[in-house]
A and B are shown apart, each in its own frame.
Chain A
């Protein structure tokens, strides 16, 4: 049964997937080199959209460094967290030493993360878990990834209400955007190089159609286009 709402909620991922397919399809199917580069760009763009999508986190907050870290790292720590940001709220429930450490040891110290733990308890969070990572609703982007924290049950239920509220807060993680800016630079550079090459190829061959290029190369090498002269060449 198709859950239309489920699909509709994830429209941005569908755009990403469709664009990606279109891009790859163009690369595969078009013989014209410039068209290939166009396809490549579409493909890359789809990835940008994906990154931007995952930058939007429901229930997340700007990372605030825990005291323990702060004491050790002073200002640096704060800067660091700002740089890398807080994407999905604390999936690392199991890894105590990380910044995203689950709060089971000291829930009251990290309210933000408590929220995350609480979210993990919600039925929606548990539902799609394990079967639709890519299709996760934006609001629950992180949820399917969460294993229910073992020891945090009590604290979570105590804070259940707050968690529900917090889940509706949409937080924009800047890091993916930063990443994607870098990727865009790379993409533009690639496109430029590709187009420049296309120009040079046209100068050298007089065409930018793939079939013709291959035929030209084969004729230069074997005296015939591919497949026409498999017999003669062996002798």
Chain B
């Protein structure tokens, strides 16, 4: 069997199988090593896939050799190839990082379970991205979600709030997934197919309540999963109290994948011929995106806890993606995709930096960051640089995102939206600046548990973190892999959906 021919499915299958195997490994270093190896392998596969897709166009893989629309199809075009690369790439960065971090935060006896859950989560997210089948999306969504609940709950050893956060996440996630599955059911009801491409063809010209209801359910279901503004309440706690490495991985990937699913359904399945899609863009995504940008960012400004702050910031950043989507133009879509990738990079790096602080100081409240520049300079600068990226300072990926969003706003004739974007960026200046000032200009705490002298985080944590920071900078200057691909992907999606 030609391995290359199986490429589209490898990123999903490898971690899935490996996750099960991880359960069998002894406690300690082995599960970690295995997970790291597997995540790298899966990243390699994703990268190869991306290269291939970029070179030759969309790749279709028929699971069990059943041709679509009967069988489950894995269909990789540029849009999901990018997301695959992002998810597996973040996993590849987080996995080596996790060893020290997890050892410090989680009972060692749990380590096989942890890495198993981690790998399955990766697999689930990759599966959601890779598959071309609507119900399959639901299944993988739930696979990843279930493992995520478990991962979040493992933070309970550090902070009992992780348990309640996981529970909340579970209820909301299930609610969202169920809505999604209702939506899929309605579409199936209307068309008799589950294949996304096929759905698109069959839906064409269908203007009736079933399709409309299906659309609404899918919108809300995925909206929950991606923490669209008023449905974001599960996210801050889940990210704040999960083990640090998990926070980093989830923040960089989980919501992004959900955004991708939304994009896929909007543009590949429904298409702009549907009036309700346009309306949903204008009357749901646009206001909710803007509201999220501001409300969540403002909440972030006042948070005492850096992880929670970053989590709220994520909600705000999702607002940008929704805003980009809501224009319903190629530029807007491209901007959303670019920000999707870029935000993954910057949030990943930021959460990893926080993880380093937690590793040394055992705390992620603001107080722990006071005077950090003296105590952990390498970590501090990683945080500062990725924070700048979050703000959108030129030379970082954040700027590229902002630029495309601004361009999209102007191109769509929404000049006001451009000012919304920059205004919200300024709120980001506030919350990032607050922490940066603490780190750079304050003295370390003089008493209490945080005052004890600490060393810089170990290399095994610094290297992955700086790899992500470097990615932030590199892709901030060379954008052919992010913006270039995203633009092509957006163009392809728009062609399918009938937009301009």
Contacts and interface: CB of A to CB of B under 8 A. Distances in A.
Assess A/B contact in the complex (Cβ within 8 A).
Answer: yes
A186 B140 CA distance: 10
Contact of A50 (B174, B182, B201): B182
A91 B142 contact: no
Contacts of A144: 208, 210
Given A47-B182, A201-B163, A98 B153 contact: no
Interface stretch (A4-12, A128-136, A158-166): A128-136
B301 to A, nearest CB: 14
Interface stretch (B187-195, B286-294, B369-377, B394-402): B187-195
Contacts of B161: 217
Given A99-B69, A179-B135, A134 B209 contact: yes
A121 interface: no
Nearest to A144: B208
A86 B192 contact: yes
Interface of A: 20, 24, 27, 33, 36-37, 40, 43-44, 47, 50-51, 54, 73, 76-77, 79-81, 83-84, 86-88, 90-92, 94-95, 98-100, 129-134, 136, 141, 144-145, 147, 176, 179, 182-183, 186-187, 189-190, 193-194, 197-198, 200-201, 204-205, 213, 217
B283 interface: no
A91 B205 CA distance: 11
Nearest to A194: B170
A84 B156 contact: no
B69 A84 contact: yes
B146 A94 contact: no
B65 interface: yes
A132 B209 contact: yes
Given A47-B178, A80-B70, A200-B153, A141 B189 contact: yes
B71 A27 contact: no
A133 B171 CA distance: 29
Contacts of A194: 167, 170-171, 174
Contacts of A217: 161, 164
16 contacts: A77-B70, A79-B70, A80-B67, A88-B192, A90-B192, A100-B192, A130-B207, A133-B190, A145-B208, A186-B139, A193-B149, A197-B149, A197-B153, A201-B164, A205-B164, A217-B164
Interface in B142-166: 142, 146, 149-150, 153, 156, 160-161, 163-164, 166
A83 B70 contact: yes
Interface in B262-280: none
B474 interface: no
A100 B199 CA distance: 12
A145 B214 CA distance: 13
Contact of B146 (A83, A131, A134, A193): A193
Contact of A197 (B167, B194, B202): B167
B67 A73 contact: yes
A70 B213 CA distance: 35
User: What 4 A-B pairs have minimum CB-CB distances, sorted nearest first?
Assistant: A80-B70, A133-B209, A133-B210, A87-B192
Given A98-B202, A130-B208, A134-B210, 4 more contacts: A37-B171, A77-B70, A133-B210, A201-B163
B236 to A, nearest CB: 13
A190 B167 CA distance: 10
B212 interface: yes
Given A91-B192, A92-B191, A40 B207 contact: no
B185 A50 contact: yes
Given A94-B204, A201-B163, A145 B153 contact: no
Given A98-B69, A130-B209, A40 B174 contact: yes
